[in-house]
Chains A and B, each alone.
Chain A
Amino acid sequence: MNVTIVDYKSGNISSVINSFKEVVKDKVTIEVTSDLNKIKSSDKVVLPGQGSFKSCVDALNKIKGLTDTLNEFAIANKKPLLGICVGLQMFADVGYEETETKGLGWISGKVLKIDNQNGKYKLPHIGWNQINIVKDSKIFKDIENNSHMYFVHSYEIVPNDKEVISATTDYSSNIVCSVEKENIFGTQFHPEKSDRIGLKIIDNFINL
């Protein structure tokens, strides 16, 4: 099996690479690339994302054919794809960070700034928070409800269809922190930085 971590020159992905390599040891090939053919021939794809929604979408679009390739992989061929942080957010139709920006449109909905209740809550939402598992997602196999995960974000995905939500977390409001729609998975938190329990989520994705 080979898993591709999409390197589209947006943000720091070394932690994602390190964590996947730690989990798979030498059993699975981890490619880190934006090469379209390599992505097409992968068994699984990981779409990380750091920085703003706009900067990530812009970076994706800068690589000719990448969005089409991802669409083909995840939507046409229905192969497993995991989005992390802004990688997940980009599944939405539209995001409003910096300016209104079109997303991949895989999960109908918007990405909005977290309501911090007039400054009552600090943003970014940084640190360890518990997840409420609301759907029996495949990536949560052997993950206990209320496990702690590491978050760092100021925006949240608000899906129109609540059925896709697999976990939420409580902050200033109830924030969607994980989605599963058929073969598409996403976590707002960082499994790669969430200690052993986060590595278990990565392991679950690898073993899908």
Chain B
Amino acid sequence: MLKNRIIPCLDVKNGRVVKGINFVDLKDAGDPVEQAKIYSDGGADEICFLDITASNENRDTIYDVVEKTSKKCFVPLTVGGGVRSVEDINKLLNCGADKVSINTAAVENSKVVVDSSKKFGSQCIVVAIDAKKNGDKWEVFTHGGRNNSGIDALDYAEQMEKNGAGELLVTSMDRDGTQVGYDIDLMSKISSKVNIPVIASGGVGNLDHLVDGIKLGKASAVLAASIFHYGKHSLKEAKEYLDSKGIPVRI
């Protein structure tokens, strides 16, 4: 039976791990390579690096981080943030990333998703959707949550599947950093709309939120940062808890 995945996410800025509260107020919390190794040894099903402010900054430090991490971690490594082009994707994959998540570039130029999934295969193309609620719908934001594209998130999700995305990483901007739980409504609506796996992100504050993301949000995988990051819970605890709630996990 296929297991639901727990993915610790490390937000990286200038080669250092940080965690954003609604994408601002960054705190420094360590070396990404060491952190990733701790997670992979602790049973992480996958590791995610998001170079959060990279759209506007020099991002070469991430390549070095990815290269070092991939020599130490033998579980899948997803890297995103500031990925603009097929060439950026190529470079990250060559450094040892297994998947690349594309956010702003996928909104601005759908060819990037089409071309990269053809070139490298859908299995390594994750489209990251930052969505914020507006009335009874959700809109897609770009540039680390700074710009509203006005695009409907559900329609967009469907389009990205057609364009060749292998997975969708859906972040609720309303919930990110709040620790009040995933936006279940958003996750379940997108997950029901597409046939590719959805990774739920944004808002995890306790282990029940992970359970809800899978059971109610219908996500294939749950991504979380701060609950693991500051030692509030270990991955082992999280997996045992999900298992006790009847969710299939790799233990």
A contacts, CB < 8 Å to B: 11-12, 14-15, 18-19, 21-22, 50-52, 55, 116, 119, 122-130, 148, 150-154, 170-171, 192-196, 198-199
Contact = CB atoms under 8 A, between A and B. Distances in A.
A192 B74 CA distance: 6
B152 interface: no
Contacts of B119: 51
B5 interface: yes
B96 A127 contact: no
B221 interface: yes
Contacts of A153: 123
A195 B45 CA distance: 9
Contact of B93 (A14, A122, A148): A14
Given A122-B197, A148-B3, A198 B250 contact: no
Nearest to B251: A148
19 contacts: A11-B120, A15-B96, A18-B96, A50-B124, A51-B121, A119-B195, A122-B196, A123-B195, A123-B196, A124-B166, A126-B123, A126-B197, A127-B197, A128-B5, A130-B1, A148-B250, A150-B76, A192-B74, A195-B40
Interface residues on B, range: 20 to 34
B98 interface: yes
B74 A198 contact: yes
B167 interface: yes
Contact of B167 (A19, A22, A52, A126): A126
Interface of B: 1-5, 40, 45, 70-71, 74-77, 93-98, 118-124, 166-167, 195-197, 220-221, 250
A11 B70 contact: no
Mostly helix, strand, loop or mixed at chain A's interface? mixed
B131 to A, nearest CB: 20
A116 to B, nearest CB: 7
B2 A22 contact: no
A129 B2 contact: yes
B71 A124 contact: no
A28 to B, nearest CB: 17
A88 to B, nearest CB: 14
Contacts of A18: 70-71, 74, 96
Top 3 nearest A-B pairs by Cβ distance?
Answer: A51-B121, A12-B93, A128-B250
Contact of A12 (B2, B40, B120): B120
A52 to B, nearest CB: 7
Contacts of B5: 127-128
Nearest to A19: B74
Contacts of A11: 120-121, 124
A11 B120 CA distance: 5
Most chain B CB within 10 A, of A12, A21, A171, is at: A12
A52 B84 CA distance: 23
Contact of B3 (A19, A127, A152, A193): A127
Contacts of A50: 120-121, 123-124
B94 A14 contact: yes
Contacts of B118: 55
A14 B74 CA distance: 11
B18 to A, nearest CB: 26
Given A18-B70, A124-B166, A124-B197, 18 more contacts: A15-B70, A15-B96, A15-B98, A18-B96, A50-B123, A51-B119, A51-B121, A124-B122, A124-B123, A125-B2, A126-B197, A127-B4, A127-B45, A127-B221, A129-B2, A148-B3, A151-B2, A192-B74
